[in-house]
Chains A and B, each alone.
Chain A
Amino acid sequence: MRVLAAMSGGVDSAVAAARAVDAGHDVVGVHLALSRMPGTLRTGSRGCCTVEDSNDAWRACDKLGIPYYVWDFSERFKEDVVQDFIDEYAAGRTPNPCMRCNERIKFAALLEKALALGFDAVCTGHYAKVVDDGNGNKELHRAADWAKDQSYVLGVLTHEQLQHSMFPLADTPSKAEVRAEAERRGLSVAKKPDSHDICFIPDGDTAGWLAEKIEMSTGDIVDESGTKVGEHPGANAFTVGQRRGLKLGTPAADGKPRFVLEIRPKENKVVVGPQALLAVDEIRGIKLSWAGVPIPAAVPGPVAEPRSVVDPVGDEPVGHEPARTRADGTTCGSVSEEFDCYAQVRAHGDPVPARACVEVTADDDGGLREELLVTLIEPLRGVSPGQTVVLYQGTRVLGQATIDTARSLARPAL
């Protein structure tokens, strides 16, 4: 196969490329330039995007004897990842930029270009596994090393994207093994530290970075009953689950610490309450996608009658939704079976048992969309709209959705 190895300049992508070469593929290394100012973007910090990273990737390719190029994706990155990050925070949601980069840059813009230029696959140093089910269908699974597993941030990949994805580190027992292999291969990046932070925020100060991009205005902090208990300098600076820095004037009735339960950007309000109410047991997700072919239980069946709203007293229908039908026969109101799964809401969070189903609902533009309804059997804390919920069965990633609402069944809606 002709393989494009996306080279960040780190040890994982270098070893992944080396393994692709060993497997007999025709490999070309490409470093993505994600900023127009590569020298200034992350000077003095770790991660991707610096000139040093580009040079590290280059030296790794020299060592592997493969061609190396730098392709400029800065404009796409700025629009699809950085701007999206700002917009999401401005709307009071908590996005995952790494996931968005995988979805829109590495396995979309880059993949699209690679396929057009004659490549068969894009290879990265992610710890995750693509498995063929025997019928040519691709499935995404967790990596052998659960501690390093990155299937969560790849959960957004669709079947088409997975068909052209290659993760040679899938079966590696540990990161230490990858470093040892890099050392053996004489790759200079063997001891390079891992990147952790968001690559476009140089000093890791996300709140400070956002404060320069989003207009903040003071507003009220209210408790779970809607009573004002304090003021905040800007709702977007808070995250769900936060306890420190609330500076509340009115103490809680029970004297216990209070946490951010919810951000309401439209009202510029921050809702606080006791820790118990942080527990979320129902998640509604939008923009869902399946990592491969959806499991049969998740496919909404057609409903016999268009859903009508009936006057609960009289017999006459008082409203009738237009019968909208999709190509697959599902209409508004179609629901899938409920299926057992595990739900994970952050990259390094533990999965919890859940039940999920898919509903076909009307969207704002008169069309239909699918929504994911997840009921958590073990509640999760600190779940924020904008985060991604990824569903698993065993090691297999079923799919994902962007969290639109997350609520505690114990807390009445305000």
Chain B
Amino acid sequence: MPVYLDHAATTPISGPALAALIHELSRSGNPSSLHGSGRRARAVVEQARETLAAAAGAHPSEVIFTSGGTEADNLAVKGLFWARRAADPARTRILVSSVEHAAVQDTVAWLEKHEGAEVVWLPVDGDGVLRLDALKAELDGGAESVALVTVMWANNEVGTVQPIAGVTALAAGHGIPVHSDAVQAFGSIPVGFDSSGLAAMSVSGHKIGGPVGVGALLLGRAVKLVPVQHGGGQERDVRSGTLDTASIAAFAAAAQDAVGHLAAESARIAALRDALIAGVRATVPDAVLRGTDPGRNPAGRLPGNAHFTFPGCEGDSLLFLLDMAGVESSTGSACTAGVPRPSHVLLAMGLSEETARGAQRFSLGHTSVPVDVEKFIAALPDAYARARQAGMASHMSNIQTASTQR
């Protein structure tokens, strides 16, 4: 079995979630049907809604089940933008952090291109923390034109936890709704929707031990949203489509399990992560931890996240060599076509393209054990040495060939 250090991408399904999934998959019934089978399925969905709401610190009626985090982000950002602009055509500005996941980043960019949205990318500091002063300046300078603010709860690449309370406090002063992508934070650190002051919050099943293909948007009861997807009017008429009873039940079971064990698990995982960071620093002193140093501010970083840049290496060389050595990691950036590009998160944090090319994310989760860290640290020095030797070959080549001669 390889050492799996990519829990931020997806984490293995938890026992309770798998049990719930299998149990519900073997049964039938559309939760919208009015007969006995339908009522039974509906009861499962409503039970799951209550369970998830409790885990997320929300009211059950605030839970809109979706197909995952990406859909929740699309629904929140587009839906809020459209609803706010419809109510007041002057509200066309979106204030968004410059370190968002592609699900928010690309949605905002789409609104800019196709819906006339004016986008303000809010800067972050060197650790990737949103600059609240920049948000304040934008709000003070023209809050009446702002449709919404969207800032992720915690970053998927460098694990930096954002000052969500500060964001909502600033926006509340102007009555502006705030959305937060909490896909990485939920189940990993304490997240409470109702106490956060957020209008909308995205969560995902498979990042917390649930199945892939299910997620939810937590949406304040008074918040108006224009739907993206039309049909049978399920989920408060905001998200049409037959409810996926089995996945929803499994998602709720995973959420209950993750949040129920959060205090103990986050401490256990953070200790493993700290050992990993210490191991990397001991074996490759040149490696630089990116994001908030947990030694300085433990609450400023997700417990399972470690992220480094390795000078003189390309991230994909390191990923390849670790993969061949049985350690699964990530360059930490989006790669739909499998094409690694310098991370926009690292660039926003002020790193150069060249430094950003040497990025590698190691993320731990509920199945991680100390031997994983030990095996990784044992494999790292050789991988690093070789990757370093390969250097920036795909970036700049020193090989002499026919045309390089005079």
Residues of A bordering B, CB below 8 Å? 28, 31, 33, 36, 38-39, 51, 54, 58, 67, 69-76, 80, 84, 100, 103-104, 107-113, 116-118, 156, 158, 161, 287-289, 363, 365, 367, 369, 400, 402
* Segment at the A interface, from B46-54, B136-144, B197-205, B334-342: B334-342
Whether B395 contacts A36 by the Cβ 8 Å rule is no
* Segment at the A interface, from B27-35, B100-108, B396-404: B396-404
Q: B70 at the A/B interface (Cβ < 8 Å)?
A: no
What's the minimum C-beta distance from B202 to chain A, rounded to whole angstroms? 25
What's the minimum C-beta distance from B254 to chain A, rounded to whole angstroms? 29
Partner of B401, one of A31, A54, A69, A108: A108
Whether A31 contacts B395 by the Cβ 8 Å rule is no
List residues of chain B with CB within 8 A of the CB of A363. Answer: 406
Whether B339 contacts A76 by the Cβ 8 Å rule is no
Q: Bound complex: CA of A73 vs CA of B339, how far in Å?
A: 10
Q: Bound complex: CA of A76 vs CA of B386, how far in Å?
A: 21
Residues of B bordering A, CB below 8 Å? 316-317, 319-321, 323-324, 335-341, 386-387, 389-391, 393-399, 401-403, 405-406
Whether A100 contacts B403 by the Cβ 8 Å rule is yes
Q: Could you name 19 residue pairs across A and B whose Cβ atoms are closer than 8 Å? A: A28-B324, A38-B337, A58-B338, A70-B316, A72-B339, A72-B341, A84-B403, A104-B401, A104-B403, A111-B399, A112-B399, A113-B317, A117-B320, A118-B386, A156-B403, A287-B405, A289-B401, A289-B402, A402-B402
List residues of chain A with CB within 8 A of the CB of B320. Answer: 28, 69, 117
Whether A70 contacts B340 by the Cβ 8 Å rule is yes
Also in contact, A117 and B321, with CB within 8 A (given A54-B338, A70-B338, A76-B396): yes
List residues of chain B with CB within 8 A of the CB of A104. Answer: 397, 401, 403
Partner of B394, one of A110, A156, A367: A110
Partner of A112, one of B337, B390, B405, B406: B390
Whether B340 contacts A72 by the Cβ 8 Å rule is yes
What's the minimum C-beta distance from A268 to chain B, rounded to whole angstroms? 26
Most B-side CB within 10 Å, residue of A100, A116, A363: A116
List residues of chain B with CB within 8 A of the CB of A112. Answer: 390, 393, 397-399
Q: Bound complex: CA of A84 vs CA of B395, how far in Å?
A: 16
Closest to A107 in B: B401
List residues of chain B with CB within 8 A of the CB of A38. Answer: 337, 339
What's the minimum C-beta distance from A290 to chain B, rounded to whole angstroms? 9
Q: Bound complex: CA of A28 vs CA of B399, how far in Å?
A: 22
List residues of chain A with CB within 8 A of the CB of B398. Answer: 112
List residues of chain B with CB within 8 A of the CB of A113. Answer: 317, 390, 393-394
List residues of chain A with CB within 8 A of the CB of B337. Answer: 33, 38-39, 51, 54, 70
List residues of chain B with CB within 8 A of the CB of A36. Answer: 339, 341
Also in contact, A117 and B387, with CB within 8 A (given A76-B394, A109-B397, A369-B406): yes
Closest to A36 in B: B341
SS of B interface (majority): loop
List residues of chain B with CB within 8 A of the CB of A156. Answer: 401-403
Also in contact, A161 and B401, with CB within 8 A (given A109-B394, A116-B386, A369-B406): yes
Also in contact, A71 and B394, with CB within 8 A (given A108-B401, A112-B399, A289-B401): yes
List residues of chain A with CB within 8 A of the CB of B341. Answer: 36, 72
Q: Bound complex: CA of A58 vs CA of B335, how far in Å?
A: 14
Closest to A35 in B: B339
Whether A365 contacts B389 by the Cβ 8 Å rule is no
What's the minimum C-beta distance from A400 to chain B, rounded to whole angstroms? 7
Q: Bound complex: CA of A73 vs CA of B390, how far in Å?
A: 13
List residues of chain B with CB within 8 A of the CB of A73. Answer: 394
What's the minimum C-beta distance from A337 to chain B, rounded to whole angstroms? 22
Closest to A68 in B: B338
Whether A365 contacts B340 by the Cβ 8 Å rule is no
Also in contact, A33 and B321, with CB within 8 A (given A103-B403, A369-B406, A400-B402): no
Whether B401 contacts A75 by the Cβ 8 Å rule is no
Whether A117 contacts B386 by the Cβ 8 Å rule is yes
What's the minimum C-beta distance from B37 to chain A, rounded to whole angstroms? 39
New A-B pairs, 14, CB < 8 Å, besides A72-B394, A365-B406? A33-B337, A54-B338, A54-B339, A70-B316, A72-B316, A72-B340, A104-B401, A110-B394, A112-B397, A113-B317, A156-B403, A158-B401, A161-B401, A402-B402
List residues of chain B with CB within 8 A of the CB of A111. Answer: 399
Also in contact, A33 and B401, with CB within 8 A (given A72-B316, A76-B395): no
List residues of chain A with CB within 8 A of the CB of B339. Answer: 33, 36, 38, 54, 70, 72, 74
Q: Bound complex: CA of A72 vs CA of B395, how far in Å?
A: 8
Partner of A75, one of B386, B387, B389, B395: B395
Whether A108 contacts B397 by the Cβ 8 Å rule is yes
Q: Bound complex: CA of A100 vs CA of B335, how far in Å?
A: 28
What's the minimum C-beta distance from B68 to chain A, rounded to whole angstroms? 21
What's the minimum C-beta distance from B342 to chain A, rounded to whole angstroms? 9
Q: Bound complex: CA of A327 vs CA of B49, how far in Å?
A: 81
List residues of chain B with CB within 8 A of the CB of A76. Answer: 394-397
What's the minimum C-beta distance from B406 to chain A, rounded to whole angstroms? 5
What's the minimum C-beta distance from A117 to chain B, rounded to whole angstroms? 5
Q: Bound complex: CA of A372 vs CA of B405, how far in Å?
A: 14
Q: Bound complex: CA of A157 vs CA of B123, how far in Å?
A: 48
Q: Identify the 6 closest CB pairs spanning chains A and B, nearest first.
A: A116-B390, A70-B338, A113-B393, A289-B402, A109-B397, A108-B399
Closest to A370 in B: B405
Q: Bound complex: CA of A287 vs CA of B405, how far in Å?
A: 6
What's the minimum C-beta distance from B113 to chain A, rounded to whole angstroms? 14
Closest to A365 in B: B406
What's the minimum C-beta distance from A119 to chain B, rounded to whole angstroms? 10
Q: Bound complex: CA of A76 vs CA of B319, how far in Å?
A: 20
Partner of A103, one of B316, B336, B390, B402: B402
What's the minimum C-beta distance from A328 to chain B, rounded to whole angstroms? 15
List residues of chain A with CB within 8 A of the CB of B317. Answer: 113, 116-117
Q: Bound complex: CA of A154 vs CA of B402, how far in Å?
A: 12
Closest to A34 in B: B339
What's the minimum C-beta distance from B111 to chain A, rounded to whole angstroms? 20
Closest to B339 in A: A33
What's the minimum C-beta distance from A66 to chain B, rounded to whole angstroms? 12
